[in-house]
Structure 1
Amino acid sequence: DYARSPDAGMAQWRAMLGRWAARVEPQAATWSRPDLDDRDWKTMPAEQFWETTPGLETFDGTIWLRASITLTEKQAGQGATLSLGPIDDLDTTFVNGREIGSSQGWDRPREYRIAPGVLRAGANLIAVRAVDTNGGGGAWGPAAQKGLKFDDGSFAPLGATWRYKVSSTLAQSGLPPTAPWVGASGLSTLRNGMIAPLAPYGLKGFAWYQGEANVVEPAAYGRLLPALVADWRRWFDAPDLPFLVVQLAAFGPRQTTPVESGWAGVRDVQRRVAAADPQVGLASAVDIGDIYDIHPANKQQVGHRLALQARKLAYGETSLVAAGPAPLSAALAKTGAGTSVVVRLDQPAVVQADARPVGFELCDAGGACRFADAVLAGDQLRLAIPAGFAPVKVRFAWSDSPILNLYGRTGLPATPFELAIAP
Structure 2
Amino acid sequence: MTSSRGAVALVMAVATLCGCVSVQAAETSEPRQRIRDLGITIGQYPTGPLNNITDVAGVKVGHTTLISGEGPLKPGTGPVRTGVTVIVPRDDVWRKKVPAGAFVLNGTGEMTGLSWVAESGFLEYPIALTNTLNVPRVANGVMSWMIRQYPEIGISDDTLTPVVAECDDGRLNDIQGRHVSEQDVMAALDGASNGPVKEGTVGAGTGMVSYGFKGGIGTASRRLSEKEGGYTVGVLVNANHGRRPELMVGGVPVGRLYEAVPPVAQALSPGQSEGSIIIIIATDAPLDGRQLTRLAKRAALGLARTGSTARHGSGDFLLAFSTGNVIPHYPSEPTFQQTHLADTHLNPMITATVEATEEAILNALTMATTVVGRDGHRIEAMDLDRLQELMGAASRR
- TM interval, shorter chain, is under 0.3
Structure having the higher strand fraction is 1
Q: Say which structure, 1 or 2, has more relative contact order (CA 8 Å, 6+ apart).
A: 2
Q: Name the TM-score, length of structure 2 as normaliser.
A: 0.23
Structure possessing the higher radius of gyration over alpha carbons: 1
